[in-house]
Amino acid sequence: MDAACLDRTALPSPAELYERVRHHVPAIEWPALAEDVAAIQALKRARNAVVLAHNYQAPEIFHTVADIVGDSLALAREAARTDADVIVLAGVHFMAETAKILNPGKTVLIPDPGAGCSLAESITAADVRALRRRHPGVPVVTYVNTSAAVKAESDLCCTSGNAKAVVESLGVPRVLMIPDEYLAQNVQADLPHIEILTWAGHCEVHERFTAEDIREARQAYPGVAVLAHPECPPAVVAEADFSGSTAAMQDYVETRRPAQVVMITECAMADNLALRNPDVAFVKPCNLCPHMKRISLGKIRRSLETLAHEVTVPDDLIAPARRAVERMLAVRP
Ligand code: 13P
Ligand code: SF4
């Protein structure tokens, strides 16, 4: 193992780890979790493994065993950079596939292979080929929340953190932006000079928010800052004070430090930020992603013990999917 890739000497003690999550995890539950945490830390050392965790992961994962945390863009960037032999993706399947596409020689594990995504399930490679036939010559920008097969049919990928910059980077008047209809419509509102054609895919978590939720939150908490993820419908984004990727929402909270904030996104986002920002009051509503919630400390531990569940991508898809992801990574917002 390459000892330089992780600073093993800096591992916090169990007491320090509990301090990070004690406002979220009751003391009575900690001993069982601490056992999993200790086992995961030892297994990571033994296997030269890293845990990449998305911002929607539960606090006991996010704050104790993750080596790298972030939004989809940050995780893709870090996956491209790591020198670990094993990557455990604490997130959903498309994120693990992206890590595999960027690291075909490494072992990439997902602790629960059932951790899917309604957006990834909304479109197939055949759908993309049909769209291309219907709109010849129009470049296809594909959200990373898709399968490797769909990425392989695309010109380049985007995330919520760089969608606008990616579309603008093409310098063309017409773009197909798939499969998230609302993300595409939200980008369209910012780029009226470009015609954005889209697909009727939705995030099952963000599509449930309504503009009325925001109006109610403003009434209940006067002065509250409202941050909405761009997978929300445009009417929701229009009511918000700010819209951006999960990393951009974090940045807003940590730099602007609103007294009260509502995060119109997955619930773990506020849970994780609240632990690091005790001076900010986080208020509801939020929605749970059932896919993200399939990942647990116990499943991460088993994954590292047994090297299950290994994520594979067919050889013929690696090169075209990688081209689309790398083209995205080359775009600077
Ligand atoms: P970001 O973290 O890239 O904003 O994505 C949100 C999301 O829904 C990932 O599944
Ligand atoms: Fe997919 Fe939405 Fe869950 Fe993200 S929050 S994984 S976009 S279903």
The pLDDT value given to residue 329: 96
Is 265's C-beta closer than 6 angstroms to any atom of ligand 1? no
Q: With contact defined as beta carbons under 8 Å apart, do 69 and 62 qualify? A: yes
Is 57's C-beta closer than 6 angstroms to any atom of ligand 1? no
pTM of the complete model: 0.95
Q: With contact defined as beta carbons under 8 Å apart, do 66 and 28 qualify? A: no
Q: Which residue's CA is the nearest one to ligand 2's atom 1?
A: 117
- Is the peptide bond preceding residue 230 cis, with omega within 30 degrees of 0? no
Closest among 146, 144, 141 to 167, alpha carbons compared: 141
Q: What angle do CA 320, 323, 327 make, to 5 degrees?
A: 150
Please state the atom number of ligand 1 nearest to the C-alpha of residue 230: 4
CATH architecture entry for 4-115+292-306: 3-Layer(aba) Sandwich (3.40)
- Same topology, domains 4-115+292-306 and 206-283? Answer is yes
206-283 CATH choice from 3.40.50.300, 3.30.1360.170, 3.40.50.10800, 3.40.50.10860: 3.40.50.10800
Task: Say which CATH superfamily domain 120-203 falls into.
Answer: NadA-like (3.40.50.10800)
* Residues in Cβ contact with 323 at an 8 Å cutoff, skipping those fewer than 6 apart: none
* Residues in Cβ contact with 94 at an 8 Å cutoff, skipping those fewer than 6 apart: 117, 120, 144, 145, 146, 147
13 is in an annotated binding site: no
The pLDDT value given to residue 11: 77
The pLDDT value given to residue 332: 82
- Is the peptide bond preceding residue 309 cis, with omega within 30 degrees of 0? yes
Bridge partners of residue 176, in order along the sequence: 140, 197
Bridge partners of residue 198, in order along the sequence: none
Distance 246 CA to ligand 1 centre (A): 6
Q: Which residue's CA is the nearest one to ligand 2's atom 8?
A: 117
Provide the token pair at 270: 């506020």
The pLDDT value given to residue 9: 52
* Residues in Cβ contact with 130 at an 8 Å cutoff, skipping those fewer than 6 apart: none
The domain locations on the chain are 4-115+292-306, 120-203, 206-283
pLDDT tens per residue across all 333 residues of the chain: 222 233 445 678 989 999 999 999 999 999 999 999 999 999 999 999 999 999 999 999 999 999 999 999 999 999 999 999 999 999 999 999 999 999 999 999 999 999 999 999 999 999 999 999 999 999 999 999 999 999 999 999 999 999 999 999 999 999 999 999 999 999 999 999 999 999 999 999 999 999 999 999 999 999 999 999 999 999 999 999 999 999 999 999 999 999 999 999 999 999 999 999 999 999 988 999 999 999 999 999 999 999 999 999 999 999 999 999 999 999 987
